[in-house]
A and B are shown apart, each in its own frame.
Chain A
Amino acid sequence: MSIRLRVNGTEHVLDVDPEMPLLWALRDVLTLTGTKYGCGQALCGACVVHIDGAAVRSCVTPVRRAEGREVMTIEGLSPDGSHPLQKAWVDLAVPQCGFCQAGQIMTAAALLAKKPKPTDAEIDQSLAGNLCRCGTYTRIRTAVKKAAGLPTE
């Protein structure tokens, strides 16, 4: 069965099981490997992408749910790493291993799109589903604030 969706502005028709999680359609079929597999159970947030601007966990989202909709992955967030979150992440050297960071950034991007000046509590709440085993959380908070143009200390 074919599924039609737009990913990072490009139209794709995928001939896949409609129940296949969007994560694997992106990674294995479209070879967009920036989106990561971390748990497969919506517990870690490494797979977060946007569907029509909303942050979703692609590991538990059947690809059929993206049918006819606009999917954005980390590769599509900006053409050149110039999104304010990407810049803040680099400036503050947020990543350690880096594996969870695409999911962190995509989650934060959806937050800022909705709440351009989030409070500390809103940042924590928004990113509560994104695990980082390296423990970069304090820098993630600061980077979100920096990207939002909020005072960082």
Chain B
Amino acid sequence: MQDTRIRLSRRSVLEGMGLVAAGLGLEVFLPARAHAAPMPTSLPEVPSGGLRANVFVHVAPDGVVTIVCHRSEMGQGVRSSLPVLIADELGADMAHVKVVQGDGDEAYGDQNTDGSSSVRKIFDDLRYAGATVRTMLVAVAAKRWKVAPAECEALDHAVFHKGTRRTFKFGDLASDAAKLKVPGKDAVTLRPRGELKHLGKELPLLDGPDIVTGRAVFGADVVLPGMRTAVIARPPVAGGKVARYDATKTLAVPGVRQVVELPAATKPFLFQPLGGLAVVADHTWAAMKGRAVLDVTWEGGDNAVYDSAAYREQLLEVIGKPGKVVRNVGDAEGALAKAAKRVRATYNTPHLAHAPMEPPAAVAKVENGTCEVWATTQNPQAARSEVAKALGIDPSKVTVHVTLLGGGFGRKSKPDYVVEAALVAKAVGAPVRLQWTREDDVRHDYYHSTSAQRLEAGLDASGKVVAWHQRIAFPPIGSTFADATFAGDGEMGQGILDLPLAIPDVRMENCEARAHTRIGWLRSVANIYHAFAVQSFIDELAHERGADPRDTLLEVLGPSRIVTPKDLGVAKVPNYGQSLEEHPVDTARLRRVIERVTGLSRWDERKREGRALGLAAHRSFLTYVAVVVSVVKDADERIRVDEAWIVADAGTIVNLERVRAQMEGAVVFGLSLGLYGAITMKDGATVESNFRDYRLARIAETPRRIHVDIIPSDGRPGGVGEPGVPPVAPALANAVFALTGTRVRELPLVKTVKV
């Protein structure tokens, strides 16, 4: 039975990824004169012959077009979007397109599926991938008809001669096209936007049918012959190690095979596994039982001092003193001294865990100096290089297959657990499934950083904001990679350096903060605490002056304009790795989403019948988002969110349906962290362990209606997965103030108010 299932499982992996199991092992035909990009060593198998002009598209003589999705699917809908964009440029019919998940390989370019970058950074590249193939197919048809290529068009999986009824199907052209030299970009023309049939439409969910029938393959669903399952007892403190252990009781558990000690992690943690003891067993239950009775004494290391409650006080002390000036315009101190009124507030946010519904998992097989891995990973190239490093083999000897991800949110960009799988598989000499339990996930995360900020504004006699001074402290992500105690430009670029303010005197300082755990990036990253403080503070200023928070927000952001680094008082705006020429800081777009969301939510009736609205807006990942949250009080005085509106201007979008879904999800994600989310540390170890104490929003805590409005645009594409999150928590806190008069300056809200 098991053998049958193994075949079925492998087959279902392949089928799930759009590959037919038959024909495996056939070599990819590479035309001698093809000037293709370097081939991945682990190209998906396709029938021999046909046209492969680049790593993304293959056209088979039978007409089947195979398109590689090289980015990881974690719910953002990338598999339902990127291949369609390529197909659209090509003129392929999705009914004859197979979508194949790309293995980890540099030939695809960047595969780290984070930073909301899958569309914004490669929109044109993917279109060129499709357009190049189209150009070649058209060239063959034109030559056969002895007409100019301009007289031909590629449509519905065929090339037509305009004006006559002559047609060649793509498959009929593929073999001849493969003999052509692959044209360079200058010889390829992208379609005018109007010709792209699918762009910006509501596209079907590719993996929907497999998901609802249980056929979809996630990280732990891969089954290999002779596979064992392992769980690891890791040091409770990051950087700790095994002092001594006795595995007698563990080895007595039926089904447990062995216990493998893994090397301890040293700072900087990078993507290293945390060390500990792997309990290897015939199945998960035995491994978990074996781990539960493992007699182990841990050595804490220098992070054992970490106490998050004490650290909160330390951060508050740090922001009481000057830090490194990261942004300066005019003389904020002087302007504050002269101000008619000064308003000051301090904001705190805790560590967060990613808690994807699927905990980290990977399956690894190590044999004959090679390693093959199946993993739920956002970052297959890093998984490949880290596994190679850990095993001491060349990356070309490592194959990383990407399964569907049961959520990622940044956690699965760090391949520590993939390395664990490879190390354990090597040690036991059999394929191993490495399973993280929920407790492992909550206790050994790369945590979202904890922060403290101090904001002070000066108002003139008329109430206008004339000075802004902000200090920010949080242990930076850089601490995971080097001995860093100040924020990197990337983090400061998330709502500090790029925050438009129509205020003459502005100073922003970053204060030093040392990390005592692994810090990572979580959906929308530093924007979470920056937007929380800034958008809450502007709301506070509005109430100080007795003004409408929307009017104050619009006034502080200022009139419609392009804001330059000079205006901002910074040397450079990191701008999420993209140019300010293509993606300027444009207050007109921010104003527009604010105006739109306040219109849709009837902002002018924002306080009535026991209900109040709160507003926040933020630009992140080159996308502009405004959110209004409506809160009410339950019969038992608990605050409940009953409705939310979210308006996004993400520039050009590929898949309207999934963009809407991401915004709906962002509201819920934002409510989870706004209402409940907090990771605390005691003696260097994480206190929370599972959903009982690391609480997420449930269905009844989700508003009955989340209204999503996407601004139509043909501008450069911005990010989608993350930018919906940052405005949610401040909009919620502002709504709570409007309803109750209680100002929440610390996340999560559950610390301050009854929710």
Contacts and interface: CB of A to CB of B under 8 A. Distances in A.
A114 interface: no
Contacts of B409: 133
B699 A130 contact: yes
A-B interface, 10 closest residue pairs, ranked by CB to CB distance from nearest: A34-B214, A135-B668, A99-B406, A96-B75, A97-B75, A98-B211, A74-B214, A135-B665, A28-B283, A33-B221
Given A86-B213, A135-B697, A139-B664, A33 B406 contact: no
Contacts of A38: 357-359, 438
26 contacts: A34-B213, A36-B357, A37-B359, A41-B438, A44-B691, A74-B212, A74-B213, A75-B213, A75-B215, A89-B212, A93-B204, A95-B208, A96-B75, A96-B407, A97-B358, A99-B218, A101-B212, A102-B211, A130-B699, A133-B672, A134-B357, A135-B667, A136-B661, A137-B668, A137-B699, A138-B702
Contact of B665 (A32, A75, A96, A128): A96
A33 B357 contact: no
Q: How large is the interface on B (under 10, 10 to 19, 20 to 34, 35 or more residues)?
A: 35 or more
B43 interface: no
A98 B691 contact: no
Contacts of A150: none
Interface string B59-91: 000000000000001111100000000000000
Contacts of A130: 698-699
B357 A46 contact: yes
A127 interface: yes
Nearest to A125: B700
B285 A24 contact: yes
B284 interface: yes
Interface in B674-723: 690-692, 696-700, 702-706
Contacts of A141: 699, 704
B78 to A, nearest CB: 11
B429 interface: no
A140 interface: yes
B615 to A, nearest CB: 20
Q: Considering residues A95, A120, A131, A135, which has the most beta carbons from chain B within 10 angstroms of its beta carbon?
A: A135
Contacts of B703: 138
Contacts of A74: 212-214
B404 interface: yes
A29 B283 contact: yes
B357 A86 contact: no
Contacts of B668: 132, 134-135, 137
Contact of B211 (A24, A95, A133): A95
Interface residues of A, number: 61
Contacts of A135: 664-669, 672, 697, 702
Contacts of A33: 9, 214, 217-218, 220-221, 223
Contacts of B192: none
Contact of B205 (A85, A95, A105): A95
Given A73-B214, A105-B212, A135-B667, A140 B356 contact: no
B688 to A, nearest CB: 12
A129 B205 CA distance: 26
Given A29-B283, A37-B220, A44-B691, A133 B214 contact: no
B363 to A, nearest CB: 12
A100 interface: yes
Given A40-B438, A86-B213, A95-B211, 11 more contacts: A29-B283, A33-B214, A41-B691, A73-B214, A81-B213, A90-B212, A93-B205, A93-B661, A95-B208, A123-B699, A137-B698
